[in-house]
């Protein structure tokens, strides 16, 4: 037994187009690595809001992505030099 697993997973519960996934993931990474929003729940919610505001036809994509884990989990990000 390896005793390994995920702390949290943020993934879609259905099918959608890759274009929307790219927008959503870019917004998520910006929240964490550029804006310093290291709390998963806040970062995923902000990414969804940002993506929807860019293109409201992606509503279904935003609705199908879920965070499976504790939304208060913080991502350990190294400080910028």
- pLDDT of 26-37, one tens digit each? 999 999 999 989
Instruction: Give how far Cα 15 sits from Cα of 37, 50, 60, 63, 80, Å.
Output: 28, 20, 10, 12, 36
Does residue 16 surpass a pLDDT of 80?
Answer: no
- pTM of the complete model: 0.84
Instruction: Give how far Cα 18 sits from Cα of 21, 71, 74, Å.
Output: 5, 25, 27
Measure the CA–CA gap between 28 and 37, rounded to whole angstroms. 9
* Average pLDDT estimate for 48-71: 90
* Average pLDDT estimate for 14-27: 86
Q: pLDDT band for position 2 (50/70/90)?
A: confident
Does residue 4 surpass a pLDDT of 90?
Answer: no
Greatest alpha-carbon span in the chain = 45
* Average pLDDT estimate for 47-67: 90
For CA atoms 3, 11, 31, 33, give the dihedral sign: positive
């Amino acid at each position: 037994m390896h005793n390994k697993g995920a702390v949290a997973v943020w993934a879609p519960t259905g099918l959608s187009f890759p274009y929307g996934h790219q927008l959503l993931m870019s917004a998520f990474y910006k929240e964490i690595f550029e804006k310093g929003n290291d709390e998963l729940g806040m970062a995923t919610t902000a990414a969804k809001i940002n993506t929807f505001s860019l293109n409201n036809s992606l509503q279904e994509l935003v609705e199908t992505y879920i965070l499976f884990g504790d939304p208060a989990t913080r991502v350990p990000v190294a400080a910028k030099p």
